Amino acid sequence: MNFDQQFDRRHTESVKWNYFPEDVLPLWVADMDFQSPPAVLEALHQRVAHGIFGYGLPPADLAEIVAARLQRRHGWCPDVEQISYVPGVVSGVNLALRAICKPGDAVIVNTPAYPPFFSAPESANLRCVCNPLVQNADGSYALDFERFEAQIQQEKVNAFILCNPQNPTGRVFTHEELLHLAEICLRHKVIIISDEIHCDIIFDQNRHIPIASLAPEIADHTITFMAPSKTFNMAGLYASVAIIQNAELAESFKRVKRGIISGPDLLALTAARAAYKDGDAWLEELLVYLQGNRDWLAEVLPEKLPGVRYCKPEGTFLAWLDWREVGLEGNPQQFLLKEARVGLNDGLEYGIEGAGFVRLNFGTQRAILSEAVERMAAALKRR
């Protein structure tokens, strides 16, 4: 695959490329600037050529394909009957909270956190409890287990929204970390809602471990969401996977979902099947390219953007950049938008721990990434 090939996305109703003015390079929202795998494109062409788009069902073998892939890549073996579909992970998380919580209950999240993890509890009239990750001297992040358990007890927490790989920090939690989190949740009867949407974007020797795969009793208290959307760059098709191994939880989830959210549409499920069945060769090439971008940033940022701290993410295609030591007045995201014409995510979107940070999406062509860095470097020199 030629991941260096650039495409004009401004004329394709792209949120990413049309949110900012045309002179702004957008490296913000988490979709990539690469075409989806050829197998996905071919499957969609064939389905469209049929020309009839009546009410449909998920492909008969999709659950088997998902289950086989989970076993092959992650050593996890849920039954096909425990696999269902939702349009998106965010909608799935919102449904899960409504299925397991009642108004006034508390939900705990690790911060900085993906913004919908704040809005989902709020929209369900739940209390959001923020458990800050601890930043180490090298810029990496660790879990504060003691505080996590104390907050669960003090706030009478009912649900934990886990994000692994973690957005925006890029942490891929280890077996020991996940087991410790799960043991705390089991001890206090906290249901785990696990967002594992970036599970296929993993670098170096890190390994994604679905938390529900650790033990049957953990699986019994977990609702897991995955999707082909980040992996195969098809977020706009809205197809995600829910894995719920507890029959009672699964029934509660279905009951809340019924009549409000339907499953993904025909084309989304067609694309999901093709991606999961035949997209892994493309994915392996993508991971090489993304890791090259990630490592290139680590090489050039100390020279180009002195004072900006960058700890290479273990997973995701997102760089969490710390601008607090640069000495800017005000918000770095606004400075970069105004002075460099580069559009990034404001760290404050991810909670108060994100003040002074920006999130940069390096899932793009190296030439675009390089131009963005040059623009930011020039803006710093001019200030």
* Percent of the chain scoring above 70 in pLDDT: 100
Handedness of CA 331, 336, 337, 338 (dihedral sign): positive
- What's residue 60's pLDDT? 95
**pLDDT tens, position by position, 159-197:** 999 999 999 999 999 999 999 999 999 999 999 999 999
CATH of region 15-38+281-382: 3.90.1150.10
As annotated, the residues of the chain forming the CATH 3.40.640.10 domain(s) are: 53-278
Tell me the pairing of strands 240-244 and 83-86. Answer: antiparallel
> Mean pLDDT across the stretch 282-305?
98
CATH topology of domain 53-278: Aspartate Aminotransferase; domain 2 (3.40.640)
- What tokens were used for 272? 């999901």
Neighbours of 285 (CB within 10 A): 13
Joined tokens for residue 221: 């208290």
Q: Average of pLDDT values for 66-88?
A: 97
Which residue intervals of 258-279 are DSSP H helices?
266-278
Residues in the chain: 383
Comma-separated ranges of CATH 3.90.1150.10 domains in the chain: 15-38+281-382
274 pLDDT band, cuts 50/70/90, is very high
How is 52-119 classified by DSSP, letter by letter?
---S----TTHHHHHHHHHHHHH-----GGGEEEES-HHHHHHHHHHHH--TT-EEEEEES--THHHH
Q: What is the pLDDT of residue 5?
A: 97
- pLDDT for 116-161, tens place per residue? 999 999 999 999 999 999 999 999 999 999 999 999 999 999 999 9
Q: What pLDDT, on the 0 to 100 scale, is given for residue 136?
A: 96
Position 196 scores a pLDDT of 98
Give the containing element (helix H, strand E) for 194. strand 191-195
Q: What is the pLDDT of residues 316-332, one digit of tens each?
A: 999 999 999 999 989 99
- Mean pLDDT of the region 265-290: 98
pLDDT in tens, 223-250: 999 999 999 999 999 999 999 999 999 9
Q: Give the residue among 335, 383, 380, 379 at the shortest CA–CA distance from 357.
A: 335
Over residues 112-124, the pLDDT tens digits come to 999 999 999 999 9
pLDDT of 129: 98
Q: Are 200 and 237 in contact (CB under 8 A)?
A: no
* Mean pLDDT value across residues 366-377: 98
How many C-beta atoms surround the C-beta of residue 89 within 10 A?
A: 25
Chain mean pLDDT for the chain: 97
CA-nearest of 157, 156, 158, 162 to 111 is 162
Closest CA to 304 of 354, 346, 342: 342
